[in-house]
Structure 1
Amino acid sequence: MITELLMDNFYFSDRQLSWQEAICLAANPLLNKGAITQNYINDVIKNIEINGSYIVLVPEIALPHARSNGNVLQTAMSFLKLTHPVTFPDGMSVTVMFFLASTDSDGHLDVLVELAEILADKNNQNLFRTAKKQEQILAILNQPKQIA
């Protein structure tokens, strides 16, 4: 499901950015495709300002998102890999973002479960942090699932 949502929404940046600029950069592919409005991006930034780094799932990897409030027109996701970490208001640093936009409050649960399963493997976390190309990200996401 994650790979279908990501489609061609991958971006790699060598620029030094603020965390707000990184959120905007991660959201840009979805904004350009008409999946979200600028208000959704503003809501994501506002949520982080109010609630802190709740979006950081594991060290250096975050899942920025917010309630739709009518500002998500199509469920979608983008991926951003930063060479230079951004630091959120409470001091947590991030180099990898999976920016999620869901049209409803339940639409992202399957994505969260899938991403949690992938990130449970510390090797996968490291592979995301060191990836330099879209193909490397897709290889991680398309690995056969381990049966417990």
Structure 2
Amino acid sequence: MSQLNSLLGDESIDLHARAASWREAITKAGKLLESSGAITDAYTRAMIESVEVNGPYIVVAPGFAFAHARPSEAVKRTAISWVRLETPVAFGHGTNDPVNLVVALAAQDDKAHTQSMKELAKLLGKKDTRAKLDTVATADELRELLEGPGAASKQAAANPQGTPTASTRGASLSDAPQTATVESKGKVLTVCGNGLGTSLFLKNSLDEVLNDWGWAKLINVEATDTISAKGRAKEADFILTSGEIAATLGDVGVPVWVIKDFTSLSEIDAALRELYAV
């Protein structure tokens, strides 16, 4: 059984939910976890507050939001809930709205759910699988889909060779001219508000691109939160994150590159080619 299926109880699946707002959508996902005994209502409130404070950074891919909060006493066991909305709702994201699929994670620590995040990121990164997630009619059909191979599509681009070098450009990378490069520090940070949910989505996709390039052993990717990232930014070549978190980080002394779709290997591939001047 996939870890996704092991963390997702039948009682935590709603394929025909209705919500009038993003808050209500997250609340429905939280209530499923509450009913299963995985969390208390304090965790549901924390998931909503995370978006209120940090913005809609949890909308990591078109139509998909990954609701979560920091581990706390409100989490009784690590679990996932799955909510598909009959009518999509807006979270306020510039490119990925509206959202029709909300997956909520309650994690007791920052490691118990790592494998399930890898599985989910790969499933969402496959267009055909993502489309099927919108049409499965029963919990059994959903589980069958989640149990699939989940291998994300490989990049068709040529495999870059040699030792990576990091671009010396600043935060407004997309508008800046190409400049000289410096020797890589061998580290990239993926950042989100809590350091255990959306940043892991992005890390998994980045790891896959680096593996396709043959650079997996050269670059260490670490998922972290905004507070840690501000203190550790200069350890890394650059930071990959969402637009909302980039605004929160501000100038941290290294390039901060915004990724719109955390499951898009092609978007991440293009970002790396810019950042490493490949």
TM-score under structure 2 normalisation?
0.50
| 8 Å CA contact retained: 2:19, 2:25 | no
3-state SS of 1:17 partner: coil
| 8 Å CA contact retained: 2:81, 2:103 | yes
Matched with 2:258 is none
CA pair 21-5 structure 1, distance change in 2 beyond 3 A:
same
Matched with 1:136 is 141
Q: Distance in 2 between matches of 1:39 and 1:141?
A: 29
3-state SS of 1:57 partner: coil
Matched with 1:66 is 69
Q: Distance in 2 between matches of 1:19 and 1:124?
A: 24
Amino acid at match of 1:12: L
Matched with 1:104 is 109
Structure of greater relative contact order (alpha carbons < 8 Å, 6+ residues apart): 1
* Mapped pair 1:95 → 2:100: yes
Matched with 1:26 is 29
Distance apart, 1:137 and its partner CA: 1.4
Q: Distance in 2 between matches of 1:35 and 1:60?
A: 26
Matched with 2:199 is none
Q: Distance in 2 between matches of 1:97 and 1:42?
A: 16
Give the superposed CA RMSD: 1.9
Matched with 2:86 is 83
1:115 counterpart (120, 127, 136): 120
Q: Distance in 2 between matches of 1:109 and 1:14?
A: 27
Amino acid at match of 1:62: A
Task: Mark the runs of 5 or more structure 1 residues left unpaired by the alignment.
Answer: none
Q: Which moved more, 1:121-130 or 1:42-51?
A: 121-130
Matched with 1:2 is 4
| 8 Å CA contact retained: 2:8, 2:79 | yes
Matched with 1:41 is 44
* CA-to-aligned-CA distance 1:71-109 (integer Å, 9 cap, x gap): 111001111111101111345321011111000122222
Count of aligned positions: 148
Q: Distance in 2 between matches of 1:129 and 1:55?
A: 19
Q: Percent identity?
A: 34
Higher Rg of the two aligned structures:
2
3-state SS of 1:56 partner: coil
Distance apart, 1:145 and its partner CA: 4.5
CA pair 107-14 structure 1, distance change in 2 beyond 3 A:
closer
Q: Which moved more, 1:13-22 or 1:121-130?
A: 13-22
Task: Mark the runs of 5 or more structure 2 residues left unpaired by the alignment.
Answer: 155-278
Q: Distance in 2 between matches of 1:47 and 1:35?
A: 19
3-state SS of 1:130 partner: coil
Distance apart, 1:68 and its partner CA: 1.7
Q: Distance in 1 between matches of 2:106 and 2:24?
A: 17
CA pair 116-145 structure 1, distance change in 2 beyond 3 A:
closer
Amino acid at match of 1:71: A
Distance apart, 1:144 and its partner CA: 2.9
